[in-house]
Amino acid sequence: MKIAYYPGCSLHASSKLYDIQTKSVLNKIGIELSEIEDWNCCGATSASKTDDFLAIALAARNLGIADATGLSEMMIPCSSCYSRTLVSQKALAGDPALKSEINAELSKKVEGKIKISNILEVLLAGKNEITEKAVKKLAGLKPVCYYGCLLTRFPSDMPVSDSVENPLSMEGLLKAVGAEPLDWGYKTDCCGASASVNDADMALKLMAKILKDALARGANCFVTTCPMCQLNLDAYQDEVREKYGISKSLPVYFITELIGISMGMDPLEMQVDRHFTEALGLLKELKLL
């Protein structure tokens, strides 16, 4: 099966590892990702905070390119890109005047027909294949699944494929490959990724709450699908621990690398060594490496 793919800026830069993992894991379960050509940045949180028109128009150009592929579905792994693109598609469907105004500037017009999916929806659809191919059970892995803000909460009404307050699709996938995900209280709380550079104390405080609860529940790692959350919880974790006197650290895995490892893929080929908070040690300890 072939589906369109919008990687977004992050997966082509700081989270290139996520791009590599996503493609190879999905390939392994028979899904070919076709990256849409000449895409642009979706505008992320910054465009929506500064300019209402750009917030819709930037993602609209990508939607036009995606519609022109003729494919029926486009997958977007980054929660922020996913949210912005979905919001743009919906806004244009509800505002024909804005749609024709934007389409007038685009060479590939937005038709609004392509289905936008996040990575959990695509992985869930392939859960049987994943389970079949999971040669290594992730026994002893006790993750807390971190969904963050933008997978289930939107700035406008949107049908959500999982529970808004207590999503469980990530837990379901990880259980299928033998991990033992734990219940906890911060799975959809904000980690402050957009504030860590410009309002650092606030972001560190939000991250400390998340890390403390994960540790109190007895987790040995975080799992996430959002590259912004991953980078934030991973790169700033030492600073959080130092400021809040937390001695233990937790690796922050992308869901793709864990599913990949369970399907027998090489952690180093998936670049698991590129985490800020040591991530290979736990895998060695659990004899998954």
Using CB under 8 A as the criterion, which residues of the chain lie in contact with other proteins when the complex forms? 9, 12-17, 38-41, 43-54, 57-58, 61, 101-102, 105-107, 149-150, 152-157, 164, 189-190, 192, 194-195, 197-200, 202, 205-206, 231, 235-236, 271, 274-276
Closer to other proteins by CB, 103 or 131: give it: 103
Q: In the bound complex, what is the minimum distance in angstroms from residue 262's beta carbon to other proteins? A: 24
28 vs 274, beta carbon nearer other proteins: 274
CA angle 221, 226, 228 (to 5 degrees): 100
Q: Which two tokens stand for residue 242?
A: 């130092």
Q: Which is nearer to other proteins, 126 or 251 (CB)?
A: 251
Residue with tokens 């028109």: 53
How many whole angstroms separate alpha carbon 126 and alpha carbon 259? 12
Cα distances (angstroms) measured from residue 265 to each of 1, 6, 27, 202:
21, 23, 12, 38
Is 32 or 278 the residue whose CB approaches other proteins more closely?
278
Distance in Å, CB of 140 to other proteins, minimum? 25
Q: How far apart are CA 267 and CA 23, in angstroms?
A: 14
Q: Which amino acid is it at 115?
A: K
What is the nearest approach in angstroms of other proteins to the Cβ of residue 211? Answer: 15
Token reading at 115:
């289905």
| CB-nearer residue toward other proteins: 95 or 285 | 95
Shortest reach from residue 30's CB to other proteins, in Å:
29
DSSP string, 184-247: -S-TTS---GGGTTTSHHHHHHHHHHHHHHHHHTT-SEEEES-HHHHHHHHHTHHHHHHHHT--
CB 101 within 8 A of CB 150: no
Decide if 237 contacts 252 (C-beta within 8 A).
yes
CB of 192 to other proteins, least distance (A): 6
Nearer to other proteins, 89 or 194 (CB): 194
At residue 252, the 3 state secondary structure works out as: strand
Shortest Å distance, C-beta 158 to other proteins:
10
